[in-house]
Structure 1
Amino acid sequence: PWVANCVGYNNVAYFGRFLFYVTFLCLYNLILIGKRILNVIDYQNNHSFHYIQDLENTNEKPYPLIFKREMIFIVINLIMLFIVIFLVAPLFAFQVMYATSNTSTIEDRENKKIQVLIDKGEVPNIKYPYDYGWLENLKDVYGSNIFKWLINGRGSGNGIDFKI
């Protein structure tokens, strides 16, 4: 429902990698910012007012561990990260789910409607013919070489003829 028809057989692997890298790098950035915030908290806990007063008797100068500009940047970055993760991570999860079941968004919607008819007993239950198992399905989408999945490559075939 989010992407309408812009993602098709020829570019679904690239779209999946894009979503993976956006999600992964946003989570990585979140970890780095979290470590920075923990460093600031640790600095504040270990450098109390009394410690700074003791430094007045020496030549050492205390320095602020975080400046106002950096704090503003961190807050804005955190807000943007949470928004992007909130929007992109579920989309990535859906794309992985579709790739592992070898279905498209439209096929998934149709399969849910068919399942309702099966539950009512109006149509017989049949196995989905294009589901080869999660690993073979991923190979069909991202290519047969697993080591290239996150770098480059796309599935085999032409998008019209499939093995059954």
Structure 2
Amino acid sequence: MAVCLNPGVPPEFPGEALESKDGELGDYAPAPKQCHKCLKLKPPRAHHCSVCKTCVMKMDHHCPWINNCVGINNYRYFCLFMFFLAMGCLYYTVLGSRLFFQALVPARKRTIKLKFEDIQCVTLSWLVSICIFCAICLLGGFHLYLVLTNQTTIEFHTNMAGRQIARKRGEIHRNPYDLGMSRNFQQVFGPNTFFGFRWLLPYVARRPTCNGLEYPMVSDFRA
């Protein structure tokens, strides 16, 4: 799904965009923006991908490993892909550690008979698995932070710059989409409780409710 699913291409400008709002925002709604590159509607948090040649709603980045953009439609699948990949690498790293260390000792001291081809396969597979596991833990940890703070990779860098500017002015910069960890998590994985673990099974879990054109903000929850 992370590879094949459309990451979330916005509608054409302006007909489909105006129809999708159904007049809910009234006359005071801000004028819709148009991307000057692909000429599609450019809703908040959307960015133009130079590889895909189109805008992507809530674009995080273009991932060469899945050969697809990571956007609002497939971000949760991308996160689950990293999680299950890490678990698979950890599984082999733990179960294959005995064979790996047996392959390192001289042949006369081995308790398990291994052919030369077996040693090559075991050592290469174990080293690749542990390297991928370490790399995924770093990348996955970063994206876990993004999920819990309701940011994309692009917004993370933007907010970092915003904090530096606000600090120089003696002000406090806050991400307007940060609704708290629980709501932030549900923005990505849908209205599913974390300890229910249904979010681990996307075909069973409820889908996210956001349409990619509008996003809840902190100001919407203030009394």
Q: What TM-score comes out, normalization by structure 2 length? A: 0.56
- Alpha-carbon deviation of 1:66? 2.5
- Counterpart residue identity of residue 24, structure 1: M
Question: One-letter code of the match for 2:87?
Answer: F
- Letter of the aligned partner of 2:88 in structure 1? L
Q: 1:101 and 1:134 mapped to 2: Cα distance?
A: 6
From the superposition, tell whether residues 120 and 145 of structure 1 become closer, same or farther in structure 2 (CA, over 3 Å): same
The number of residues matched between the two structures is 144
Tell me how far 1:64 sits from its aligned partner.
6.0
AA at the equivalent of 2:140:
F
Distance in structure 1 (CA, Å) of the matches to 2:148 and 2:168: 27
Contact kept in structure 1, 2:61 and 2:153, CA below 8 Å: no
For residues 156 and 78 of structure 1, the distance between their equivalents in structure 2, rounded to whole angstroms, comes to 41
Q: Does 1 or 2 have the higher relative contact order (CA < 8 Å, sep 6+)? A: 1
Q: Residues of 2 paired with 1:82 and 1:126: CA distance?
A: 39
* C-alpha contact (below 8 Å) 1:13/1:155 kept by paired residues: no
Show CA shifts across 1:21-45 (max 9, x none). 111110111001124456x59xx9x
The 3 A distance-change label for structure 1 pair 73 and 32 is same
Report matched runs for 1:1-150 at 5 Å.
3=62, 6-37=69-100, 40=102, 65-68=112-115, 69-121=117-169, 124-146=171-193, 147-150=197-200
Instruction: Give the deviation of 1:139 after TM superposition.
Output: 1.2
Report the AA paired with residue 85 of structure 1: F
Structure whose CA Rg is larger: 1
Structure with the largest fraction of helix:
1
* Contact in 1 for aligned 2:61/2:69 (Cα 8 Å): no
Match of 1:51 in 2: none
**Letter of the structure 2 residue corresponding to residue 14 of structure 1:** Y
In 2 relative to 1, CA 116–133 (structure 1 residues): closer, same or farther, beyond 3 Å? Answer: same
| Unaligned stretches of 5+ residues in structure 2 | 1-59, 218-223
Give the distance between the partners of 1:113 and 1:64, measured in 2 at CA. 57
Cα RMSD over matched residues?
2.8
For 1:108-144, what per-residue CA distance to the aligned partner results, in whole angstroms no more than 9, with x for missing partners? 000000111011117x324322111112211110111
Classify 1:27/1:2 alpha carbon distance in 2 versus 1 (closer, same or farther; 3 Å): farther
User: Kindly, what percent of the aligned residue pairs are identical?
Assistant: 26
Which whole-Å deviations, capped at 9, do the CAs of 1:2-58 have from their partners, x for residues lacking one? 6368000111000000010111110111001124456x59xx9xx97xxxxxxxxxx
CA pair 127-140 structure 1, distance change in 2 beyond 3 A = same
AA aligned opposite 1:156 = T
1:163 aligns with 2:216: yes
